């Protein structure tokens, strides 16, 4: 009797009587294919992922820019609010927070955490200005400044 490939493999599987053997084989195949998938994934990742972030500016430079943006933000919602300007500036503050995180001095992990809080509060501010709500923007800005202080209390000298 002639068998095609599918029939042959079914036949062979039935012949594997010992169920432990079947389980062992199935687990082995699953692990092997997972490893294969992972290594393909790893190669794809290393091809596509950008190299680690390398800062160029000083923390001081970023802080000056950050401070100016925050002064402009207060003006943006005073009087007749300029929400478009406020949105851009709030997003820029959030991006500065992202970058500031990578300026973590060695061994001080709180910096990364404080920088994350700074970024999260800036995101909240972005949402508040997107909602074009003056009260929400003012409150979010107050919370943002608490995040500035949290870091300054520990890391800003003098």
Return residues touching ligand HEC (CB under 6 A). 59-60, 63-64, 66-67, 70, 100, 111, 114-115, 118, 144, 147-148, 151-152, 155-156
Q: Residues 86, 73: contact at Cβ < 8 Å?
A: yes
Cβ of residue 51: shortest distance to ligand HEC, in angstroms? 23
Show the DSSP H helices in the chain as ranges.
5-15, 19-48, 59-76, 83-101, 109-130, 134-155
Cβ of residue 55: shortest distance to ligand HEC, in angstroms? 13
Name the residue nearer to ligand HEC (CB basis): 15 or 153: 153
Round to whole Å and give the CA distance between 110 and 119: 14
Cβ of residue 78: shortest distance to ligand HEC, in angstroms? 17
Q: Cα 10 from chain centroid?
A: 48
Cβ of residue 25: shortest distance to ligand HEC, in angstroms? 54
Name the residue nearer to ligand HEC (CB basis): 27 or 72: 72
Name the residue nearer to ligand HEC (CB basis): 72 or 130: 72
Residues whose CB is less than 8 angstroms from the CB of residue 17 and which lie 6 or more positions away in sequence, other chains included: none
Round to whole Å and give the CA distance between 122 and 1: 74
Name the residue nearer to ligand HEC (CB basis): 134 or 151: 151
């Amino acid at each position: 009797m002639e068998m095609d490939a599918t029939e042959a493999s079914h036949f062979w599987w039935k012949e594997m009587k010992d169920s432990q053997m079947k389980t062992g084989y199935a687990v082995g195949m699953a692990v092997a294919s997972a490893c294969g998938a992972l290594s393909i994934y790893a190669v794809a990742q290393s091809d596509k992922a950008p190299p680690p972030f390398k800062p160029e500016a000083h923390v001081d430079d970023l802080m000056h820019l950050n401070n100016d943006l925050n002064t402009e933000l207060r003006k943006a919602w005073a009087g007749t609010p300029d929400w478009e300007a406020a949105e851009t500036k709030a997003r820029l503050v959030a991006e500065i927070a992202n970058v500031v995180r990578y300026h973590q001095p060695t061994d001080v992990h709180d910096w990364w955490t404080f920088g994350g809080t700074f970024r999260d509060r800036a995101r909240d501010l972005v949402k508040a200005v997107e909602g074009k709500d003056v009260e929400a923007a003012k409150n979010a800005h107050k919370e943002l400044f608490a995040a500035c202080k949290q870091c300054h209390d520990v890391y800003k000298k003098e």
